[in-house]
Amino acid sequence: MIFAAMLAGGIGTRMGLNKPKQFEIVGDKPILIHSTETFLKVNEIDRIIVSSPEKFIDRTKELINDYFPDDEKIAVIAGGETRNDTILNSIKYIKENYSDEDHILITHDAARIFVSESLVKKSIDSVINHDAASPVMPAVDVIFETKEEGKLTDIPLRRNLVHAQTPQSFKINRFMEIYSNLNQEEIDTLDEAMMLFFLRDGDVKLFKGESGNFKITRNIDLKIAEAYLNEIK
């Protein structure tokens, strides 16, 4: 089966909000609904798992039910303290409710509301013959590395650098096989699924992302998203 994990476990800290940013309205709908709608249109996906901060889980369920009443394809679960914890919670849900076959999990930042159906399908197609897959975009800026505050320690060649996007896909059993062999120090470095595969030389397929598939992270991004939405209507 193919599962999608809609990562919406954040609480809006970086945006100074008093609620998770996935509840913020862009256009006429909450951020979470924009992303979920797109994934619902992808017939290859069997189930969509929406994560939520635990204290907002009832509100998230109400929101999902308001827009997608009685849609059995969607489940709402509690997210974790970190992105990796939220992914593990999604895998736990799958393991507890479905067979133990080597299913595919697509993880997506709910705050990337302009993801296209074609990019989701490309993520599915790309992981079939690999351990994992991720969309990427070429870096447009020179990137400075600083391992010591205020000091330039390296300047990687821009032509070798890409920006990671979601939806990222991976085979669940391979993910858990690698995870079970990581030490605590390695686990603490995990801030996204592809890092796990990288730590054990996993076969990660990179494919071209989309320029419009940006993540709403700052307050200015809300204004950019509103403008972009009006532009593409």
Bridge partners (DSSP) of residue 138 are: 162
pLDDT at 122: 98
In whole angstroms, how large is the CA radius of gyration of the chain? 18
Q: Which tens digit of pLDDT belongs to each residue from 112-145?
A: 999 999 999 999 999 999 999 999 999 999 999 9
- For the chain, which residues make up each domain, given as ranges? 2-135+163-232
Asked whether the predicted pLDDT for residue 174 surpasses 70, the reply is yes
Average pLDDT rounded to a whole number, residues 152-180: 96
Bridge partners (DSSP) of residue 205 are: 133
Bridge partners (DSSP) of residue 162 are: 138
pLDDT at 17: 66
pLDDT at 233: 73
* 70 burial type by CB count under 10 A (0-12 exposed, 13-18 middle, 19+ buried): exposed
Residue in the block written with tokens 């929406």: 50
Structure tokens at 221: 């991004």
Q: Is 41 helix (H, G, I), strand (E, B) or coil?
A: coil
pLDDT at 101: 82
Give CATH superfamily name and number for 2-135+163-232: Spore Coat Polysaccharide Biosynthesis Protein SpsA; Chain A (3.90.550.10)
Rounded to two decimals, the pTM is 0.93
pLDDT at 10: 64
pLDDT at 12: 58
Q: Is 174 helix (H, G, I), strand (E, B) or coil?
A: helix
